[in-house]
């Protein structure tokens, strides 16, 4: 259960308790005919309400402790922020595709592979070679460290071939997957990038088919 839902439940319980207490006070006051009777009616009610308030407070403390523990557990893991775009770099005359990853998690990430795939496709496109100057694979990234891989010149045509053979020339479900030893991090290319890759798919040669 998320913390927002837990806060909503606690607030609702608090409002319900307040309404119930006011109702009991009203009943006790309405049924009493003298001060003595009023004291005899209201004090037991307040005692019961006090016990309920104490119980709700204990429940709230438990929920807060659980929320803090869950938040720490979720944050204590590796996480990568990925990017995929064309870049211009020397000494290449044409823009090349670059995949980058920044480690923003509390645990280091051991990156060991990068693939391109599409949901429903029968094969993935494993990227085996990168241009000089790219980060190594495998590579270990600690917090705040960045790795970047420059794809070979014309690699967009290879992606076009993959789309043509396995995705009916459509890039709508295309994903970039950077895998570590424990987690697969995925990135969905921008809509502009998808349209660009689809234009290459129309002119590309078919990719090798899965046997």
CB 101 within 8 A of CB 141: yes
| Whether residue 169 has a cis bond before it, omega within 30° of 0 | no
The model's pTM:
0.68
What's the pLDDT at 178? 98
Half-sphere exposure of 108 (CA within 13 A, CB side): 8
Residue-wise pLDDT tens digits, 65-95: 776 766 666 667 899 999 999 999 989 999 9
What's the pLDDT at 170? 96
What's the pLDDT at 43? 59
Angle at which helices 3-31 and 35-75 cross, to 10°? 180
What is the full DSSP assignment across the chain? --HHHHHHHHHHHHHHHHHHHHHHHHHHHHH--SHHHHHHHHHHHHHHHHHHHHHHHHHHHHHHHHHHHHHHHHHSS--EEEEEEEE--TT-SS-EEEEEEEE-SSS-EEEEEEEEEETT-S--EE-----TTPPPSSEEE-TT-EEEEEPPTTHHHHHHHHHHHHSTT--TTEEEEEEESS-EEEEPPPHHHHHHHHHHHHHPPPPPPP-
Residue-wise pLDDT tens digits, 94-143: 999 999 999 999 899 999 999 999 998 999 999 999 999 999 999 999 99
User: Closest Cα partner for 117 from 190, 166, 82?
Assistant: 166
Residue-wise pLDDT tens digits, 121-132: 999 999 999 999
What's the pLDDT at 11? 72
Residue-wise pLDDT tens digits, 13-69: 767 776 776 666 666 556 555 556 555 655 566 666 666 667 667 766 776 777 676
CA distance 99 to 150: 7
Query: What b/e sequence results for 172-199 when a residue is b if at least 16 CB atoms lie within 10 Å of its CB, and e otherwise?
Result: eebbbbbbbeeeebebebeeebbebbbe
Across the range 198-203, mean pLDDT stands at 94
């Amino acid at each position: 259960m998320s913390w927002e839902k837990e806060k909503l439940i606690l607030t609702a319980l608090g409002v319900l308790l307040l309404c119930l207490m006011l109702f009991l006070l009203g009943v006790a006051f309405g049924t009493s005919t003298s001060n003595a009777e009023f004291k005899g009616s209201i004090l037991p009610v307040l005692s019961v309400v006090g016990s309920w308030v104490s119980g709700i407070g204990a429940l709230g403390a438990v929920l807060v402790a659980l929320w803090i523990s869950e938040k720490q557990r979720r944050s204590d893991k590796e996480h990568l922020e990925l990017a995929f775009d064309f870049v211009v770099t020397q000494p290449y005359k044409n823009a090349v595709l670059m995949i980058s990853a920044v480690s923003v998690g509390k645990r280091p990430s051991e990156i060991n592979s990068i693939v391109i795939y599409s949901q429903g496709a029968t094969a993935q496109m494993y990227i085996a070679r990168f241009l000089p100057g790219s980060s190594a694979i495998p590579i270990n990234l600690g917090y705040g460290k960045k790795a970047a891989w420059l794809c070979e010149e014309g690699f967009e045509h290879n992606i076009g071939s993959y789309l043509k053979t396995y995705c009916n020339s459509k890039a709508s479900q295309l994903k970039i997957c950077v895998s570590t030893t424990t987690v697969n991090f995925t990135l969905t290319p921008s809509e502009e990038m998808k349209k660009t890759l689809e234009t290459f798919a129309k002119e590309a040669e078919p990719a090798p088919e899965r046997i």
